Amino acid sequence: MVISETISFKLPFPPTVNNYWIQIGKRRILTRDAREFKNLAYVRIFEFKQTLPENFKLRLQKENLHRNLLLYPPDRRRRDGTNLEKAVDDALVCSALINDDSQIKSWSGKMCDMDIDKKGYVIVELSIL
């Protein structure tokens, strides 16, 4: 049962928007890293969705949302956190957790300390406004 209006779950560390797309001739396609992230995120979000009540899943599809990201990078390289948001938003839509990323009316995020396992991950928090 969902007690609050906020849910939280963990995803793999997303690729930067700078490395998300590649141009091949006249076609623009996802890079290998982007496809890997999208597939892993889809599975994790699908599993998480199974724990949510149906009425809450319907609200996530229809209502305005606040999205917060806590980013734990795999190494100490400097990163622009805002370049990591698009991959997460696309995963939320592709997995049908939310209907469209235009539902996200407010957002926040924080680049946290490096992941000690050096794999990197992101904690996604979604709140119904």
Q: How many domains does the chain have?
A: 1
Model pLDDT, residue 37: 95
From residue 50, alpha-carbon distances to 27, 43, 46, 47 in Å are 35, 11, 7, 5
Lookup: tokens for 5: 């209006």
Residue 93 lies in a domain: yes
Residue 56 lies in a domain: yes
Low-confidence spans in the chain with pLDDT less than 50: 1-3
pTM above 0.95, yes or no: no
Residue 11 lies in a domain: yes
Residue 1 lies in a domain: no
Model pLDDT, residue 4: 62
> Which domain, by its residues, includes 70?
6-128
Model pLDDT, residue 15: 94
The Cα–Cα gap between 22 and 19 comes to 7
Find the angle CA(82)-CA(88)-CA(90) to the nearest 5 degrees: 115
Model pLDDT, residue 3: 43
Residue 89 lies in a domain: yes
CATH number, domain of 54, equals 3.30.1330.70
Model pLDDT, residue 115: 86
Model pLDDT, residue 19: 87
